[in-house]
Structure 1
Amino acid sequence: MACFSAHNSSNIISDIISDIISDIISDIISDIISDIISDIISDIISDIISNIISDIISDIISDIISDIITNHTVMEEVMEEVMEEVMEEVMEEVMEEVRMDSMVAV
């Protein structure tokens, strides 16, 4: 009977040690898997946010450049029209002065 009790005690201790080792291994594996999943999710979210910010900045810069080009083109057209008007006015005044001078000379 004493032999059975010692053998039984040995099995109980072995089972307890096995359970403790199993729990420790399970916790370690769970922590590793959790860290890996957390890193993957963090990387994915970081990439998504980075891409969104990059797209927004790219769109803003593109819009600004487009506006600058458009405004520059519009300003060139306006300046051309203004210069044409000024030249017409100047030519009319010069021609009128020439006519007046030629009338006075006659």
Structure 2
Amino acid sequence: MAETRVLTDHQEIREWAAARMGSPAIRPAAPLIGNNDPVLMLVFDQQSYEDQDQGADRPTDFGRPEIVEWDEWFTLFDERNLGLVVSKEIAGLRESFHQLIAR
């Protein structure tokens, strides 16, 4: 396994995500399957550019992550005392591995 580091600084997390075309997102709580809390996520590439318009034929609670502003994402990140585990930088490689963990 590649070496990792934990990011907690908001600006450093923003820059890491931006370098990989990542956006902050939140998947809504899904009580029917036992998930009572919204899930923080980072989405990348095409997923971060998907149209957020739900349309009349798509329910608003479909469970798809919603792209949010960084301020909203970091509010939950800080409230839950999380850290972002990422691979250490390797010259010439943009690894997008990441995992949110409790600090």
* TM-score bracket, shorter-length normalisation: under 0.3
Q: Of Structure 1 and Structure 2, which has the larger fraction of its residues in helix?
A: 1
TM-score of the superposition, structure 1-length normalised? 0.14
- Of structures 1 and 2, the larger Rg is shown by 1
Q: Of Structure 1 and Structure 2, which has the larger fraction of its residues in strand?
A: 2
TM-score of the superposition, structure 2-length normalised? 0.14
More relative contact order, 1 or 2 (CA 8 Å, 6+ apart): 2
